[in-house]
Amino acid sequence: MTGEINLQRRRFMGAAALTLAAAQLGISGVAAAKSASEAGIPAITAGTNTSFASLKQIVAGVLDVGYAELGSGDAPVVILLHGWPYDIHTYVDVAPLLAEAGYRVIIPYLRGYGTTRFLSPEAPRNGQQAAIAADIIALMDALGIERAVIGGCDWGARTANIIAALWPERCKALVSVSGYLIGSREANKMPLPPGAEHAWWYQFYFATDRGRAGYERNRTEFARLIWQLASPKWTFDDATFNRSAAAFENPDHVDITIHNYRWRISLADGEQKYDALEERLAQFPLIGVPTITLEGDANGAPHPEPASYAKKFSGTYEHRLITGGIGHNLPQEAPQAFAQAIIDVDHF
């Protein structure tokens, strides 16, 4: 789920939105997409779309990446990143809205999900934060994408944060659900108040052999429980859940999930090739690209309060609270609001 355990981690207990900067909207230098005023996102009911027309595959870095793509190939690019335990269907309603607004939309399966596979059976099944971000940079290189607006939720939001912080030349603008999620294993050694520790129960479960075996055996039931806890007011149906659950049958899914959560609390090592990146991330670098952060008013997952991360965004910045019982999987629950944020931040 979102967020590393760090000194700023607290559960979001209030319903107040925090808007710290008024955005001055202007037309971007890349002119193919419509301006925000020209492309107000039409109303859409969540669940209107149920699938992507087709999936593509491309070799990128250590992976053969599966991804969905919508829109014109020569349009400005938006990359949308999913989290755990979700998949590309997080954006099944968002992507068509953005394609209609004039964007090329790329939605990849992260390592360990869907049709994404490691090229080598010997490659470490590594879920550390820098590795996942490096995957997306490799994907952009493979697709010939120099810059993109990047949006994310959960693991995808953290990955988008990292790209914006470490590779700002590749990230034109950022939309991040639950804000600043870059983590540090050193900071994660600090204990939290009991209520906050309780919210991370699954991380402690995954730290045990019993937890790994339990997730391997019950991954579908486990994911459904997380969906219910993280979005307590989202009345998703079986068909919606099952479309995403299919992505968890990836042969590397359990290994990646377990390694991710064990790595965070220093129970598993990362790869040495990412050490320099992790050292930079451990300094909690500022993010200078234009950013909109989003939060749902009914997010039941661990997540930081907006006030705790606002100063981490040094460029044009806005925070939006999305109301109406919106939980953790915000893009799928409130696709219109997420798509509008992508268009708006592109024109900050």
**Model confidence over 149-172: pLDDT tens digits?**
999 999 999 999 999 999 999 999
Q: What is the pLDDT of residue 19?
A: 34
Q: Please say if the pLDDT value at position 27 is more than 60.
A: no
Q: What is the pLDDT of residues 281-322, one digit of tens each?
A: 999 999 999 999 999 999 999 999 999 999 999 999 999 999
Q: What is the DSSP letter of 287?
A: B
Q: What is the pLDDT of residues 169-226, one digit of tens each?
A: 999 999 999 999 999 999 999 999 999 999 999 999 999 999 999 999 999 999 999 9
Q: What percent of the chain has pLDDT over 90?
A: 88
Asked if 96 and 68 touch (Cβ cutoff 8 Å), the reply is no
Q: What is the pLDDT of residue 4?
A: 39
Q: Identify whether 124 is preceded by a cis peptide bond (ω within 30 of 0).
A: no
Q: What is the pLDDT of residue 22?
A: 34
Q: What is the pLDDT of residue 1?
A: 55
Q: Please say if the pLDDT value at position 34 is more than 90.
A: no
Q: What is the pLDDT of residue 115?
A: 98
Domain regions of the chain by residue span: 55-347
Q: What is the DSSP letter of 57?
A: E
Q: What percent of the chain has pLDDT over 70?
A: 89
Note the CATH number of domain 55-347: 3.40.50.1820
Q: What is the DSSP letter of 308?
A: H
Q: What is the pLDDT of residues 313-331, one digit of tens each?
A: 999 999 999 999 999 999 9
Neighbours of 34 (CB within 10 A): 17
Pairing of strands 171-177, 291-296: parallel
CA angle 284, 111, 336 (to 5 degrees): 75
Q: Please say if the pLDDT value at position 66 is more than 90.
A: yes
| The amino acid at 91 | Y
Q: What is the pLDDT of residue 39?
A: 56
Q: What is the mean pLDDT of residues 93-98?
A: 98
Q: What is the mean pLDDT of residues 104-112?
A: 98
Joined tokens for residue 271: 């790869």
d(CA 164, CA 276): 17
Q: What is the pLDDT of residues 118-157, one digit of tens each?
A: 999 999 999 999 999 999 999 999 999 999 999 999 999 9
Q: What is the pLDDT of residue 41?
A: 85
pTM of the predicted model, to two decimals? 0.89
Q: Please say if the pLDDT value at position 334 is more than 60.
A: yes
**What mean pLDDT value characterizes the chain?**
90
Q: Who's near 217: CB < 8 A, 6+ residues apart?
A: none
Q: What is the pLDDT of residue 342?
A: 98
Q: Which residue is listed with tokens 């988008």?
A: 160
